[in-house]
């Protein structure tokens, strides 16, 4: 039986049965095209972006009585309509190697078929990228170590540095060569997605300088570090469309 997991709760545990899902949907790349008089073809303007993508499940809730159906639907509404101001992890049995960042979007129009089955559609607004389960595992990188991004999209990792004092971190790939200087290494975590540097609950953005936040480009990414850095733990967050 297929099911999805949202906010850590399985749809089947809420009494929901899935009929179908738009399994392989992907966002349209938004970019502006400029027409130049006398020139064939259009120019691409700007870098463009991927908007959110809708993931929709056609579902039903079996019930023996109207009272049972009402109780189940009330529980489903409480589950879906809470926490609408943040994204939550969404996964399902159709795509077991990836998860999404999603939030419930739309409304519930529930039909009562012969007073026994509630039929409706559940739609989530998802960030454009899917995140691989493998990319959610932290790996240790020694000086000169390589992490290989298996997907054609840049990922935004979380990195935790081991050591004390000061040091520099360089990540080199075929598309980038960037270095960061750190004045305080011990226990420092760098979250490139949230654009934060911290140690526990204390902000450490002022202890790191460099060109933006670390990114992992497609292919090999070589880590080198100097000073008091002894190792780097990387949670790579591999992503794909």
Per-residue pLDDT of 108-145, as tens digits, reads 877 655 445 778 899 999 999 999 999 999 999 999 99
Contact at 8 Å (CB) between 107 and 32?
no
What six digits make up the tokens of 73? 């639907």
**pLDDT higher than 50, residue 103:** yes
- The SS3 of residue 60 is strand
Per-residue model confidence as pLDDT tens digits over 20-79? 887 667 777 777 778 888 777 777 776 778 899 999 999 999 888 888 888 998 999 999
- Greater pLDDT, 92 or 23: 92
End-to-end CA distance of the chain: 25
Give the model's pLDDT for residue 198.
94
DSSP 17: E
> Pick from 155, 117, 131: which is nearest to 16 by CA?
117
Q: pLDDT tens for residues 160-208?
A: 998 888 999 999 999 899 999 999 888 899 999 999 999 988 899 999 9
Could you identify the residue written with the tokens 């591999």?
238
Q: How far apart (Å, rounded) are the C-alpha atoms in residues 232 and 122?
A: 41
Mean pLDDT confidence for 90-102: 95
Token match 């039909």: residue?
Answer: 111
**Residue 234 and residue 190: Cα distance in Å, rounded?**
10
Q: How far apart are CA 70 and CA 74, in angstroms?
A: 6
Does the pLDDT value for residue 151 go beyond 50? yes
Residue 191 DSSP class: E
CA 194, distance to chain mean position in Å, is: 12
Length of the chain: 241
* 53-62/88-92 β-pairing: unpaired
Note whether 125 and 52 are within 8 A (CB). yes
């Amino acid at each position: 039986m297929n099911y999805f997991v949202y906010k850590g709760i399985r749809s089947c545990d809420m009494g929901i049965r899935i009929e179908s899902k738009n399994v392989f949907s992907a966002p349209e790349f938004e970019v502006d095209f400029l027409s130049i008089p006398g020139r064939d073809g259009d120019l691409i303007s700007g870098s463009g972006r991927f908007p959110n993508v809708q993931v929709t499940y056609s579902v039903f809730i079996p019930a023996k009585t109207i009272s049972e159906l009402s109780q189940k639907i009330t529980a489903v509404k409480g589950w879906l309509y809470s926490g609408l101001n943040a994204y939550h992890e969404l996964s399902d049995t159709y795509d077991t190697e990836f998860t999404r960042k999603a939030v419930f979007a739309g409304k519930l129009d529930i039909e009562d078929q012969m007073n026994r089955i509630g039929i409706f559609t559940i739609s989530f607004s998802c960030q454009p990228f899917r995140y691989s389960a493998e990319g959610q595992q932290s790996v240790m990188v020694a000086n000169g170590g390589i992490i290989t991004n298996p997907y054609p999209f840049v990922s935004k990792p979380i990195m935790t540095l081991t050591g004390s004092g000061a040091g520099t971190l360089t990540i080199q790939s075929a598309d980038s060569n960037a270095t960061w200087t750190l004045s305080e290494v011990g226990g420092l975590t760098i979250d490139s997605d949230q654009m934060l540097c911290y140690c526990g609950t204390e902000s450490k953005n002022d202890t790191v300088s460099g060109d933006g936040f670390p990114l992992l480009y497609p292919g090999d990414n070589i880590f080198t570090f100097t000073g008091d850095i002894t190792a780097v733990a990387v949670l790579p967050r591999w992503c794909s469309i």
